[in-house]
Amino acid sequence: MKLLIPALLGLYHACLVVCDNHKIQTLSQDERQKLLDALNKDRQEIAKKIGIEFETLEYDMKCEQKVSKLDACEHIQSGESEFRLILLRRNDVTSEYIHEWNIYHGYDNPHSLLFWPSLDTICCSKSFKCSKKIPKTKRGSQLAGKQIEARGACASMRNRNFRGFVFDEHNKINNATIPPTSKYADIIGVPAIGDATTSGDSIEGPASSSGNKMNLIIIFFMVITFF
């Protein structure tokens, strides 16, 4: 019985650490508004330069919740068909990995995800993060052992219009000069790659933390049962 209390306290502390490391940070109303203001202003400036009408973006909070719950590392490694995501911060290894092995790499393009004229809805997550070494496999062996680093992501979509694809617009947009994604990362408070708050050998997104918390719960009940 004397050992039970320290064991329970240790488990409780471990749970607090895990939950804190993987907690979902939602954007504040002020951050959402500043993001929308900046993006819509930048989109309209580009629209004037290339002569194409752009839709005004609105924010989707349900979308933000879904993106925040994604397993970031899994998404980067295999893609996710439900969301068209653009990473706000990433290292060169991550870019190379996505381009070579993620079947949705064509979506990881700020021109088509942040500055496509028909897009009218957006959401962003600053909880989306991954820091993980690439395992050695037959696929992508040249990247084995290198580190994926990514922080923050935005998803965009069409919810209010049915504008079709226009090839001429596609060429104009892809040739336009657009702001770096880091501009929007700064607005919503996504830490830079390499900051002390983002360092670690293997950090996965909030979705992957659910397994850790479940393991702690199981151990907790095992301790109660056997003691």
Mean pLDDT of 195-211: 43
pLDDT over threshold 70, residue 12: no
C-alpha span between 92 and 48 (Å, rounded): 32
Residue 205 pLDDT? 46
pLDDT at 202 over 50: no
pLDDT (0 to 100) of residue 70: 92
Q: Is the pLDDT of residue 210 over 70?
A: no
pLDDT value of position 141: 75
pLDDT averaged over the chain?
78
The DSSP bridge partners found for residue 156 are: 122
Instruction: Give 192's pLDDT tier (boundaries 50, 70, 90).
Output: very high
Give me the mean pLDDT over the 9-31 stretch. Answer: 60
Q: Given this model, what pLDDT does residue 227 score?
A: 52
Q: What confidence score (pLDDT) does residue 207 get?
A: 42
CA distance 205 to 68: 8
Mind listing the pLDDT tens digit for each residue in 68-118? Answer: 999 999 888 776 657 778 999 999 999 888 887 766 655 567 887 899 899
Q: What is the pLDDT of residue 15?
A: 42
